[in-house]
Amino acid sequence: MPIDHDQIFKQLIEAFFREFLELFCPAEAKWIDFGQVEFLREEHFTDIPRGERRQLDLVARVGLKAGGQKFVLVHTEFESEKEPDFPRRMFRYYCQLFLRHDTDIVPIVVFTDDARWKKPVPDHFELGVAGKTFVQFDYHLIKLKALDYRQFLDSNNPLAFALMAKMGYNRRERVRLKADFLRLILASPVDSARRSLLVEFVETYLPLAGREQTEFQQIVANDQQYAKVDQMITVYEKQGIRKGKQEGKQEGKQEGKQEDLILLLEKKFGKVNAALRRKIRQIDSPKKLEALLLAVLDANSLEDLPF
């Protein structure tokens, strides 16, 4: 099944909205009250030249810290390929959002493709006649592959640790880098549910196989700084289990996650008693199981886990 890149990024950025703006739009982030964020789900517009009805990727209505307008919009598009007429399309979206909501808008585009552009996409759009410019429209343009991951290694922003998997790096570094990205994610102070999104993002965009996979397992098994990664790959790597994996029936995948949780608990805390085993096998929420799998890494005892 093809990867739905737009959906993966939308889910990640929605969960890490504040971190996203602090990372790439710090000036705007300083003005936003992140206690007042509402994601608008039904922002559809007609693409007038083509007659197509399009849904905008992510539109958030946000409050401001210091008076003024009651809210502004943050509009983010996720693009998986270069499109020559994209700046004009982004301007149309801006105009239609403004006409509908009559408020200020922060426009952002994230290019998620792996292509090395010879000619960049402009981060602005102009309209004018006879050499005079009447409209100058600017937007934030983030081309992940053009960013050097090394600039973010000392960041305290957990979103950066996942997005580094889509940034520029030497392919010969990818095995060690995957271990480093996961190490940084697992050490970050975020809840287990959001941490699982970061882990799955790296798993999706830095897949390893064959000799690379063997090398990866050796790195995390033999270096103490990767101890949490080694515990995690009991589930995510050694057992070959991935969120959304299409092999087998849904019931089988559910049982597999339950058994992986028991395995990880025994590896860290010793024998799991029959009562706890029964409780685990009664959990029917995949998200809760995945959250528990990652929560084990930070737990000091079984009492720390939200069963």
15-32 tens-digit pLDDT: 999 999 999 999 999 999
Q: Which segment, 63-67, 199-203, 263-267, is predicted with the most confidence on average?
A: 199-203
Res 178 pLDDT > 60: yes
Which string of DSSP letters, residue by residue, matches 57-125?
A: SEEEEEEESSSSSS-EEEEEEEESS--TTHHHHHHHHHHHHHHHH-S-EEEEEEE------SSPPPSEE
CA–centroid distance for 278 within its chain? 33
**Average pLDDT for 218-241:** 75
Question: Rg of the Cα trace of the chain?
Answer: 22
Query: Letter for the amino acid at 204?
Result: T
pLDDT in tens, 64-108: 988 766 899 999 999 988 888 999 999 999 999 999 999 999 999
Q: What is the pLDDT confidence band of residue 245, given thresholds at 50, 70 and 90? A: very low
Rounded CA gap, 5 and 10, in Å? 8
**Average pLDDT for 192-205:** 90
**Average pLDDT for 286-291:** 80
Q: What is the pLDDT confidence band of residue 248, given thresholds at 50, 70 and 90? A: very low
Query: What residues contact 35, with CB distance under 8 A and at least 6 apart?
Result: 63
User: Is residue 157 a contact partner of residue 23, using CB atoms and an 8 Å limit?
Assistant: yes
Rounded CA gap, 232 and 177, in Å? 16
